[in-house]
Structure formats: structure tokens, C-alpha cells
């Protein structure tokens, strides 16, 4: 199997999970409800755990650096996350919509990966998809509640969805190894994932009484998978790695 293709896949998945996990953790202590404080904190912990597991596979199977080094000692340009996960948490409406869009994509991705020819990833996918299923249930429930709440809450959810969609399409940015991943049976591909995702989220959005935004190809926010990020990633990495940078060689 092509190790570079697998590493690219592990990194983009791990980086997405690590960064959105960090973002979601920022709701701790400021959520609109205590229950949501706990929910976002729990989901953030899951995401960071998923990132660690993906980096561990790269370390143990591909001979890569250890997970802490991968997570905390790379530059902004070396990160493969999509720009959707980098954006500040904003208001609760945006964070919830991002959570909804991202976790539906993640659940489908891991469901597809249960059939991967790369066995370590297939085994992880079988475990992780069960956790993400609950993330999706949370997102769907609150999306529907707020969309069907007051006139203001409906309008805010629609506005957040309109804003987030061009970034969400960036989740499916193809890498240079796309054909290799498909040919070797490692992953079914971003195009297939995107089609499944659109079908799934469209049904939920419609059931919530919202309108699916139409996004022109020219408006889709790409670049993250190739190391081109928003202005928000570097400050986030600076904050995330502050302790590690005080002594990179320390054993904690």
C-alpha cells in the first residue's frame, strides 16, 4: 500500500478532529445551558481522542513521529485540516451548525472506512463511528429545536447554515492521492462521501424547516488540505502548543 497516501488521509482526519476538538472545548464554562457545556466538552474530548488514535496509527504502522510531536510540533503549513474547523466558535448558532455539518461528514467517512483495505484504520473506524453517532444525534436534535423555535432562532440558524456551507464543502477537498486511495481500497473517495453527506444533511435540514443553501463552485473554501489556512489557525496553534513549546523535549 502507498504509505504517503495513507499518511495524508490520517493527517487530514486527525488534524480536523484535533482542531475542532480544541474549538469545541472553548464552550466550556460559557455554553447557553449547563447541559451544553458538558456536551461540547465531552464531544471535544472525543475528537482529541480520535486525533490521537489516528496519529498513533501513523506512528506505529507507518514509522512516523509520536502523536504528541505530530500534534504539537508542526507548523501551520504542515496542517491538513479544512478551514471549517479553524473558524472561531462565534455564537452558539454557528458552532451548532458547524457541529452538524462536520459530524455528519465524519460519521459517513468512518462508516465507509470500516471496509478499508488498511486494517488498522478499518478497526479504528468500527470503534469511532459509534461515538460519532451520538454526536450526530445531538446536532440533529438541537438543530431541529432551534430551527423550529422562535422566529429569531429560525432566522439565526438559517443564516449560520448559509455562512457555514461554503466552508463545509471544503471538507471534501481531494488530495493528490485520491485515485490511489480509491484504487487500493483504502477509502472510497471524497466525491462519494460528499454525495452521501448531501443526501443525509438535506433530509435533516428540510425536516427542520430550513432551506439548503446553494453554493457555487467558485464560493467553496478550499486550501486547508494543501496547507493554505485561514488567519485563525496560527493563533489557535500558538495557544494550543504554548505549554509544549516551553520545553519541547520534556516528558509529562
- 72: buried, middle or exposed (CB in 10 Å: 19+, 13-18, 0-12)? middle
Residue located via cell numbers 422566529 = 151
Structural element, H or E, at residue 79 = none
CA dist., res. 139 & res. 171, Å (int): 18
Q: Residue 244's pLDDT is what?
A: 77
Give the residue-averaged pLDDT of 144-162: 97
Q: Residue 31's pLDDT is what?
A: 65
Tens of pLDDT, residues 60-92: 999 999 999 999 999 999 999 999 999 999 999
Instruction: Say how many residues make up the chain.
Output: 252
Q: Write down all domains in the chain, each with its CATH number in brackets.
A: 3-210+217-246 (1.20.1260.10)
Contact 164, 214 (CB under 8 A): no
223 pLDDT more than 70 = yes
How much of the chain, in percent, has pLDDT values that exceed 90?
A: 88
pLDDT confidence band for 252 (50 / 70 / 90): low
Residues 6+ apart with CB under 8 A from 137: none
Secondary structure of residue 132 in the 3-state scheme: helix
Mean pLDDT score across all residues of the chain: 94
Tens of pLDDT, residues 190-203: 999 999 999 999 99
pLDDT confidence band for 251 (50 / 70 / 90): low
Q: Residue 28's pLDDT is what?
A: 85
Verdict on whether the full-model pTM lies above 0.85: yes
CA dist., res. 11 & res. 202, Å (int): 28
Amino acid at each position: 500500500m502507498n504509505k504517503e497516501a495513507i499518511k495524508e488521509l490520517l493527517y487530514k482526519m486527525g488534524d480536523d478532529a484535533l482542531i475542532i476538538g480544541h474549538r469545541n472545548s472553548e464552550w466550556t464554562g460559557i455554553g447557553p445551558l449547563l447541559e451544553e457545556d458538558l456536551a461540547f466538552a465531552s464531544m471535544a474530548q472525543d475528537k482529541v481522542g480520535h486525533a490521537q488514535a489516528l496519529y498513533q496509527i501513523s506512528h506505529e504502522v507507518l514509522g512516523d513521529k509520536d502523536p504528541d510531536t505530530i500534534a504539537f510540533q508542526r507548523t501551520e503549513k504542515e496542517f491538513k485540516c479544512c478551514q471549517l474547523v479553524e473558524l472561531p466558535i462565534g455564537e452558539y448558532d454557528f458552532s451548532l451548525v458547524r457541529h452538524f455539518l462536520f459530524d455528519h461528514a465524519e460519521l459517513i467517512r468512518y462508516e465507509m472506512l470500516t471496509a478499508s483495505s488498511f486494517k488498522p484504520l478499518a478497526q479504528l473506524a468500527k470503534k469511532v463511528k459509534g461515538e460519532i453517532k451520538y454526536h450526530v444525534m445531538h446536532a440533529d436534535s438541537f438543530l431541529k429545536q432551534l430551527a423550529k423555535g422562535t422566529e429569531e432562532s429560525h432566522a439565526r440558524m438559517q443564516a449560520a447554515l448559509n455562512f457555514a456551507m461554503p466552508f463545509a464543502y471544503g471538507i471534501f477537498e481531494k488530495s493528490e492521492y485520491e485515485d490511489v486511495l480509491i484504487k487500493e481500497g483504502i477509502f472510497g473517495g471524497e466525491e462519494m462521501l460528499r454525495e452521501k453527506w448531501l443526501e443525509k444533511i438535506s433530509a435533516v435540514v428540510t425536516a427542520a424547516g430550513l432551506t439548503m443553501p446553494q453554493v457555487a463552485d467558485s464560493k467553496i473554501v478550499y486550501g486547508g488540505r494543501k496547507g493554505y489556512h485561514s488567519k485563525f489557525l496560527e493563533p489557535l496553534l500558538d495557544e494550543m502548543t504554548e505549554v509544549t513549546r516551553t520545553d519541547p523535549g520534556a516528558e509529562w
